[in-house]
């Protein structure tokens, strides 16, 4: 391998691996959290599940704001304009703080109607609203935690968020157990305990992340304001609106096609849910490398190194394809073993195996799509990923699940074939748009000379 290519690959992986580990830790703690609540009963786990589905929409909006922030901070750091990067970090913090307060008020006044809209029956509504209000009213804690993590990663520091996530997970698991089930003479608070544990952990995590920012080169003051800050605010909002649209399009599409899967039967729905849980681990390399692509592409463009930025995006995608192809091979051969962890019903296990073996063939386009979406966002293009999600979700996935699953009754295979077609079209579309974007950057650079 060429020495410069090897150096770039190491730089990509040095940013991506901590992000992968951080995502893995979040996945594991979510699994443990569900396991603890499941011991309380089916009504409790359903209540928490429905509430967390709504909270996932909140989180999607906060993460979308972070996409705009990451692009701007990375570009300013690449241009060695640390003051502008600090301004962007400050303004994004105020935006997420306001968003968190608004979602908190929404939760306070409309918890029950929102849960009913999600299909919560009377048996889970009381527990669900109780949990939802405890976790959702202090949404500003969630928004700040996500924002501070994005600020650190955008500055090139992916290690601190990973380490803080590790300690957060240990704290969360300990608090979860004690506050749900109790210890010694303390009997615990059940679902309320799970909610309080989550809020306390997020508060500690947000504080730790902010301390890490204060010790970094991107440390900022909350109160400094000038015209440049106002311009950055509108730039963050401009980039975040399409990213928010993408997340909401994805969530709404998921609601629609999950409704179709319910019509296919309870066993297919359950098998698909288990398969999606298994697939979560396969996503981790692509997510981590997408973060690396966002940072490196943005940084190189900020430094006016257009060819370098283009190379970093493609290199990140190639590394992701290599890693996720291996993941696909593992999924193909080891899914029967994983399926037995979740069910003792052989027919359900066979469905899970079929789903994962279909999915294994689509790991390369999934890898390309995840990374090039991050690379485009790092370049300041948040509209193209939104278009690709809208086309893929509504023009392909929903349509093919209906045709193959509902009309031609192909069962669980229809869901994963539809997803595979979506991922393949999306990968081709994003690659085309990525090349076209950088061709335009090169033309603009030549014209300015």
Task: Label residue 366 by pLDDT band (50, 70, 90).
Answer: very high
Stretch 329-345: mean pLDDT: 84
Residue 327 confidence (pLDDT): 92
> DSSP secondary-structure letter at 392?
I
Q: Please give the C-alpha separations between residue 374 and each of 13, 240, 335, in angstroms, as whole numbers.
A: 15, 13, 29
- Is pLDDT at 35 greater than 80 in this prediction? no
The helix/strand/coil state of 165 is helix
Reported as a pLDDT band with limits 50, 70 and 90, residue 432 is very high
Distance CA 158, CA 174 (A): 25
Confidence of residue 406 (pLDDT cuts 50, 70, 90): confident
Which residue has better confidence, 223 or 204?
204
What per-residue confidence (pLDDT) applies to 253?
84
Tokens describing residue 177: 């157990």
pLDDT of the residue at 107: 93
Rounded Cα gap, residues 278 and 57, in angstroms = 22
pLDDT score recorded for residue 437 = 92
Res 40: pLDDT: 79
CA distance 7 to 351: 43
pLDDT band at 423; cut points 50, 70, 90: very high
Task: State whether the Cα torsion 254-258-260-264 is positive or negative.
Answer: positive
* Whether residue 308 has pLDDT greater than 80: yes
pLDDT confidence tier of residue 311, bands split at 50, 70 and 90: very high
pLDDT the model gives residue 161 = 92
Distance CA 349, CA 335 (A): 9
Query: Where exactly are the structural domains of the chain?
Result: 15-225, 242-449
d(CA 310, CA 326): 25
What value does the mean pLDDT take over residues 297-309? 91
Give the residue, 222 or 105, on which the prediction is more confident: 105
CB 62 within 8 A of CB 99: yes
What phi and psi, each to the nearest 5 degrees, are found at residue 382?
A: -100, -5
Asked whether residue 45 carries a pLDDT value surpassing 80, the answer given is: no
Q: How does DSSP assign 361-379, residue by residue?
A: TTHHHHHHHHHHHHHHHHT
For residue 205, what pLDDT is reported?
92
Is the pLDDT score of 448 beyond 70? no
Residue 67, pLDDT score? 82
pLDDT, tens only, 207-237: 999 999 999 888 888 776 666 667 778 888 8
Average pLDDT, the chain: 86
Among 165-179, 185-199, 217-231, the minimum mean pLDDT is found in: 217-231
197 contact partners, CB below 8 Å, separation of at least 6: 172, 175, 176, 178, 179, 180
């Amino acid at each position: 391998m060429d020495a410069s290519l090897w150096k770039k690959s190491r730089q990509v992986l040095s940013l991506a691996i901590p992000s992968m580990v951080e995502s893995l830790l979040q996945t594991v703690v979510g699994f443990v959290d569900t396991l603890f609540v499941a011991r309380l009963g089916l009504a409790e786990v359903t209540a928490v599940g429905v509430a967390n589905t709504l909270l996932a929409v909140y989180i999607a909006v906060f993460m979308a704001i972070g996409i705009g922030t990451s692009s701007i901070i990375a570009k300013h750091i690449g241009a060695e304009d640390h003051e502008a990067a600090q301004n962007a970090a400050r303004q994004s913090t105020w935006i997420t703080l306001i968003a968190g307060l608004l979602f908190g008020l929404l939760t306070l006044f409309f918890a029950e109607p929102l849960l009913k809209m999600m299909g919560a029956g009377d048996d889970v509504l009381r527990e669900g609203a109780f949990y939802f209000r405890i976790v959702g009213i202090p949404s500003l804690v969630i928004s700040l935690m996500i924002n501070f993590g994005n600020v650190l990663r955008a500055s090139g520091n992916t290690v601190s968020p990973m380490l803080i996530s590790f300690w957060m997970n240990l704290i969360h698991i300990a608090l979860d157990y004690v506050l749900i089930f109790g210890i010694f003479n303390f009997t615990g608070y059940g679902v309320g305990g799970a909610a309080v544990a989550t809020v306390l952990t997020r508060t500690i995590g947000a504080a730790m992340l902010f301390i890490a920012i204060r010790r970094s080169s991107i440390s900022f003051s909350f109160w400094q304001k000038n015209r440049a800050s106002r311009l950055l605010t509108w730039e963050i909002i401009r980039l975040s609106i399409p990213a928010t649209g993408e997340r909401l399009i994805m969530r709404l599409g998921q609601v629609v096609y999950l409704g179709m899967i319910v019509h296919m039967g309870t066993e297919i729905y359950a098998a698909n849910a288990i398969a999606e849980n298994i697939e979560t681990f396969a996503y981790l390399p692509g997510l981590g490398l997408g973060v690396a692509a966002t940072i490196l592409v943005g940084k190189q463009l900020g430094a006016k190194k257009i060819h370098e930025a283009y190379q970093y995006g493609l290199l990140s995608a190639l590394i992701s394809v290599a890693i996720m192809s291996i993941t696909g091979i593992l999924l193909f051969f080891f899914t029967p073993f994983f399926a037995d962890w979740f069910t003792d019903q052989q027919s359900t296990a066979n469905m899970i195996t079929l789903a994962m073996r279909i999915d294994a063939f689509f790991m390369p386009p999934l890898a390309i799509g995840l990374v090039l979406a991050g690379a485009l966002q790092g370049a300041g293009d948040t509209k193209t990923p939104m278009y690709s999600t809208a086309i893929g979700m509504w023009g392909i996935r929903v349509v093919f699940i209906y045709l193959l699953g509902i009309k031609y009754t192909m069962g669980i295979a229809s869901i994963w074939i539809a997803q595979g077609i979506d991922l393949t079209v999306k990968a081709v579309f994003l690659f085309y748009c990525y090349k076209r974007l950088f061709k335009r950057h090169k033309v603009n650079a030549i014209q300015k000379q």
